[in-house]
Structure 1
């Protein structure tokens, strides 16, 4: 059985207000792990203690690229404390989404990856839809990064693949050897095509669950119309009905 984690960016407001209570609620809903995006209102040491007390594991950690570049030693110390081996580059700032920036990015990521690997960790890349725009006539930005950075792992986000009008299953099959984590998301059936709790939208999640074998399934909902805790409860109910957990 592949364990199920929650990307805590989904609950970012609750994490900033009370990280400990948020983690307790995540555990009560049935999640087995978390993917971190900062530490909320706690220190990294307090997060670790809370996770241990709740028997929650760290599936991965989203770390801004600026931190990976400028404070990698501190990042590595924190991830070792957390027991995390999967460090994720989560986002490229809008002003950096240029051909020139992407041209230099592989060497930057390669340097980070080599240092992480020397400490028993891997660098993962989490994409949105903008990386699925062309980099050259032959490949898009994400394909280019996955080809040119030796050892780079993929955190596949099925919503953003679908948003870019590509096929999640095709990506899973093409990059099965680099696929480390999968962000499970659903897309609303209406014209907004925005984020939805799992099982309530148009995404063929059953096919995705049957096709991929990541280290963790990670539930994320970037935005919710109502209470995000209710949304992730709906998602967990769907996964239980699918026999995932």
Structure 2
């Protein structure tokens, strides 16, 4: 008797892969043998207690750890199959393709317009003012900020509220046409209303960019992500479908963290 084949989860487009990644700061090992895939169709959340390595690992995905003299990264990380730690990799170009949004909003001390226009200008994405105007409007619309700032584009970006500044930083990342957006606790400095707007924005950006978010807030991870990776003491303990991680974790350490036994 023939059995019907099991329905498989449709394959998604893998954007970045990490294999056996170790990170050292001097003699101290911060990341131990992490392997993970990041795809285009799902928002991936990294969760875990403070100091577990989730932000350190996030920073390996666009070589932000290069800025730390004592940091050393081992293993392989690829973007579209290309090793991002290869000597031939242009790090400036990599960071345009893999954008980063930090915990504390950090707009440039320039106008709202110039915050967005700066990246496209230095990367040669615009041939003139008319092109830049289009990029600025499109980026601010995608960042959910256009209607709030369109009449004051020449005001300083630092004059915006914290939540608006964070959306400006997301718009700034989007403006250089990235493929991946990394977010390192993007809401931790924001109030609940501003946080809700950023979460809504993440939903809207999903599928257009591969998105990875580090968050301390487990409810946030449950709300915004479809894949969750649980880090503990520098190890990737468990990685899977977000709803499974939160309702039926396979690892005892994950269960302890989710249920609040430690963290």
Higher strand share: 2
- Alignment TM class, shorter chain as reference: 0.3 to 0.5
Larger radius of gyration: 2
Relative contact order (C-alpha < 8 Å, sep 6+): which is higher? Answer: 2
Higher helix share: 1
Q: TM-score scaled by structure 2?
A: 0.41
